[in-house]
Chain A
Amino acid sequence: MSIEIKDIHFSYGKVKALEGVSLDLPQGAVGLLGPNGAGKSTLIRILLGFLSPDNGGGRVLGYDIKDEQTEIRRYVGYMPEDDCFIPGLDAVSFTSYLGELSGMPSQEAMKRAHEVLFYVGLKESRYRKLETYSSGMKQRLKLAQAIVHDPKLIFLDEPTSGLDPQGRSEILELIMDISSKKDIQVLISSHILPDIELTCKYVVILNKGKLAAQGDISELKEIRDLYEIKVKGEAGGFLRKLKAMKCKVEETEDEILKVYWPPKQNRQEIFRIAAEEKIQLRHFVKSETSLEDLFAQVVGVD
């Protein structure tokens, strides 16, 4: 396992950012999800050694996150969320510079910088000053600097933010290509759920600093069945009874009820309650659970 952490606690003063988070992540692409303030960036910063956990510990690529941060950073690539560059440099010098800082020999860093800039699609503009780059180009450049030293593990923090649809799909293609290499693990933190669904098989969901769920996306989706129901009549009592059975219900704008039904319970119960409440079920369809549904259910937001 590339990332194993146990019982991580971290606070910014009185604000608890992470509370008892334990992870054991498999190879391949892993999505890190959570609403704002869930602790995603804090977790990445702890894994990179920018922050030291108050409690708990763990290993990244076999190196201790508290004592061997420098070694971790040699084999890890990091694509930060914010715009970040070094003014005055062109893309080749910038990427090669960061390769050298990772420990690559100067000439090889330069050669590799050209390669990765070609790879991320900055071939034509690699000699342009970074100050003149657009947001999309900066995003590609950040990916280039994260992979220049051929890391074993890559942290991507919001890799598609600020990109147009075409740029987004190109970056996702690159991420899928990188993560398809069996010896490279990618951890993607993103708000854009379809991006995670497209690129990752495994997902970690954080909520309010705690681990809300983790596992294979396909398996997590199976935890609860999702039914779309349309009713005729006063649905108040029906909804109350469903909720009393620990069943999460959401009402959409077109008056469809999305009912997350616990799998061990018999779905005939839904019909029984409807009969009890004297309402008609006009529409009853088992729906495909999307990552968005799963996220909404686990985190409790729409």
Chain B
Amino acid sequence: MTIKEKGYSHWDGEFLARKFPWWPITRYGIKLTFQRKFFKFIFPMSLLPAIFYLAGIYVSERLEDFPFLRGETIQFLQIGPNYFKTYFTQGFMLFIMLMIVIFCGASLISDDLKHNSLQLYFSRPLKKKDYFLGKSAVIVFFLFIITLIPGLVFFIMKLIFSGSLKFFLSYPWLPLSIIGYSFIVTGFFSFYTLFLSSLSKNRRLVAILIFGVYFLSDIVYLIFRREFRSHYVSLVSLRSNLQQVGAHIFGQKAPYDVSWIFSFLVLLGICVVAGFVLKSKVKGVEIVK
């Protein structure tokens, strides 16, 4: 006898009092991202810089085994906060983060808008906060894999390869810098991506926006720099602001002659605006006035 023939049956289980009601959103978001063909290719590629830098740490402790290394390479392999700063803030690494958020984040809200699924989420015992946390945790998960985790692994491997605590004693604050910058860059990209994802029902358009706004800000910066010859115009570039804040957090010389506070405030401002827009755009019902 099929269940349909038996009639409706009750569920005799108990609801969970979840501490993190957003967790299923994150889990399914990660699962769906891994189902994407391009992402299966992009994601392993995004780990290559981390593998390269990890190899650099190994080589730095065995320089005598690599006598062909000269000049700039030897200088690059001087492992210190600058090595970490270079990993986290180099343009290529930020570009990889951008590619990751395009593939994992562009559709996070836009697909829900396109397929009217917000009402399905909000007819469950979820608050807006849970929805945003669940969605942003998908981005956080993938970005931490290429920022926080490699950063901490580099630090631990440096200690293991060197066989002493000298590196830790020289830079005891470095793990905090790694954690701090990973949170800042991940937090920024989460707000940035969700904000743009909430602006359109077309995930391809959102992907173009994520890519376009980032590079447009850089192009505008280059044009302004030629015109005004002022370091302050670097504040219009998202990349420059992330690099400026990163340099400060890792205790290195800032690439632009502008206080890092301004850059931090620009990034924070973008996050605040994104938060307001998200709050107003994401609703259980679309009200046509």
Contact = CB atoms under 8 A, between A and B. Distances in A.
Interface stretch (B10-18, B142-150, B211-219): B10-18
Interface string B112-130: 1011110111111111000
Given A12-B289, A103-B18, A119 B4 contact: yes
B2 A123 contact: yes
27 contacts: A12-B287, A70-B126, A71-B125, A73-B124, A80-B116, A80-B123, A82-B116, A83-B115, A84-B117, A86-B28, A86-B115, A87-B115, A89-B28, A98-B124, A101-B126, A102-B124, A103-B16, A104-B16, A118-B4, A119-B3, A119-B9, A120-B4, A149-B15, A150-B10, A150-B11, A181-B8, A184-B8
Nearest to B286: A82
Interface string B187-212: 00000000000000000000000000
A77 B114 CA distance: 22
Interface residues on B, range: 35 or more
B67 interface: no
A84 B120 contact: yes
Given A50-B283, A77-B123, A123-B2, 10 more contacts: A70-B126, A76-B123, A78-B123, A80-B116, A84-B117, A87-B111, A89-B28, A98-B120, A103-B15, A103-B18
Contacts of B119: 50, 78, 80, 82, 84
A78 B118 CA distance: 12
A50 B11 contact: no
Contacts of B115: 83-87
A183 B285 CA distance: 28
Interface string A67-99: 000110110111010111111110001000110
Interface string B8-47: 1111010111100100110010001001000000000000
Nearest to B11: A150
Interface residues of A, number: 50
A133 to B, nearest CB: 12
A174 B3 CA distance: 12
Contacts of B16: 103-105
A86 B120 contact: yes
Interface of A: 12-13, 15, 45, 48, 50-51, 70-71, 73-74, 76-78, 80, 82-89, 93, 97-98, 100-106, 108, 112, 115, 118-121, 123, 145, 147, 149-150, 174, 177-178, 181, 184
Contact of B125 (A70, A115, A119): A70
Contacts, number: 117
Contact of B116 (A83, A115, A120): A83
Contacts of A150: 10-11
Nearest to A155: B123
Q: DSSP class of B's interface residues: helix, strand, loop or mixed?
A: loop
Contact of A101 (B7, B9, B121): B121
A-B complex: 7 closest residue pairs judged by Cβ atoms = A103-B15, A150-B11, A84-B116, A78-B123, A50-B284, A100-B24, A101-B124
A97 B24 contact: yes
A15 B35 contact: no
Given A85-B115, A100-B24, A118-B4, A105 B13 contact: yes
A45 B4 CA distance: 30
A26 to B, nearest CB: 20
Contacts of A145: 120
A71 B21 CA distance: 13
B20 to A, nearest CB: 12
A196 B200 CA distance: 38
A118 B2 contact: yes
Residue with the greatest number of chain B CB neighbours at <10 A, chosen from A12, A74, A100:
A100
Contacts of B117: 84-86
B56 to A, nearest CB: 38
Contacts of B283: 50
Contacts of A97: 24, 28
Nearest to A118: B3
B116 A73 contact: no
B120 A102 contact: no
Contacts of B28: 86, 89, 93, 97
A70 B127 contact: yes
A73 B289 contact: no
B22 to A, nearest CB: 9
A74 B125 contact: yes
Contact of B289 (A15, A84, A87, A98): A15
Contacts of B127: 70
A102 B18 CA distance: 10
Given A85-B117, A103-B125, A123-B2, A45 B285 contact: yes
Nearest to A114: B3
B116 A88 contact: no
Contacts of B287: 12
A84 B124 CA distance: 14
